[in-house]
Amino acid sequence: MIRTKILGLGSYVPDRVVKNEEIAFLNDQHVRQETQQSETTDEWIQRRTGITERRYVPNESGLATSDLALQASKRALLDANLEPQDIDCIILGTLSPDLHFPGTAVFLQDKLGIASRGCACFDIRQQCSGFVYGLQMADAFIRTGMYKRILLVGAELHSHSLDFTTRGRDVMILFGDGAGAMVLGPMESDDPKSGVMYTSAHADGSGAMSLYLKIFDIAKLPYLQYDPRNREENQPMYPYMDGKRVFLNAVRGMVMSTNTALEKTGLTWDDINWFVPHQANLRINEKVAEVAKIPPEKILNSIQFYGNTTAATVPLTIDHWRQQGKVKRGDRILSSVFGSGFTWGATIFTL
């Protein structure tokens, strides 16, 4: 039986470290202009999110999301001992694409130097759930023999689209820039517990407007109906979040998908080496762990170092702890995610 194997893993974050004190300072500059009193502090951010720092691309760097994806992809290919020419499909998850269209995967393909090969390119627009959605797609492609070597990437560049005013404070403290990548391929195995064991993907569109970035309204003419320079009009340029509703649904969705993954595979926590939740907020992950009764020593978080890198959080977290010597080849990982939409899902695989 053909199963999907993880051949390589890689990640990339920009060099610029942005600590909570800098975030508080940036917010304070806007608050002073608004003649209000700033309440944003390092302690306040850590208490609400668990984040101490995140990475931003350098100002005026000219870097795009596909550039971050490129660096993570190169590292994953090196880990797999493969060349870009060996890839016959690229799947890229992002909510911060280089352009509205075409998709960011084609820019990555070109930067890898394989545009002339004509390999398939897909963009996954499922926000924080994008990597698990992409893994489900890649697993299906490989099991059916449609593609042999798939590059799966989650990449985000958030720092250029954050609202540092009081209006955007609850959102702008969360996000960072980064990318993670996996190279996937086929293997012959009759062992149902080898390779990618399980994936699930779900959605509930009734929650779509609880976490969104509007920018434009295609139902209107003109579809851009505000002056981006006017703070009284430009809220559509920045993310909006109903934090309480997102929190409750994230916990519910991640607990459900985690428990279902174990039930469907017949595994218990004794069979799992690591649980890697989506890195949206440490408070969410702690609640998921409590409700799902996940052994605390098996939980891996990286939000304290990188913030929320949305589609990149799962591979970035795994690779971070692999570089620290904690995660090793052969480890079995359960990952559960939740994103705007609402979307959610889970996967179990052996690294």
Instruction: List residues with catalytic annotation.
Output: 128, 278, 308
Residue 90's DSSP bridge partners are 121, 151
Compute, in degrees rounded to 10, the torsion defined by CA atoms 113, 13, 202, 270.
110
Between CA 276 and CA 319 the distance in angstroms is: 11
Neighbours of 216 (CB within 10 A): 14
Between CA 19 and CA 29 the distance in angstroms is: 16
3-state secondary structure of 239: coil
**Are 295 and 262 contacting, i.e. CB atoms less than 8 angstroms apart?**
no
Exposure b/e, 12-36, CB count within 10 A at least 16 = b:
bbbeeebebeebbebbbebbeeeee
Between CA 63 and CA 333 the distance in angstroms is: 32
Amino acid at 42: D
- Degrees (nearest 5) of the Cα angle 319, 150, 125? 80
Q: Dihedrals φ, ψ of 101, to 5°?
A: -155, 155
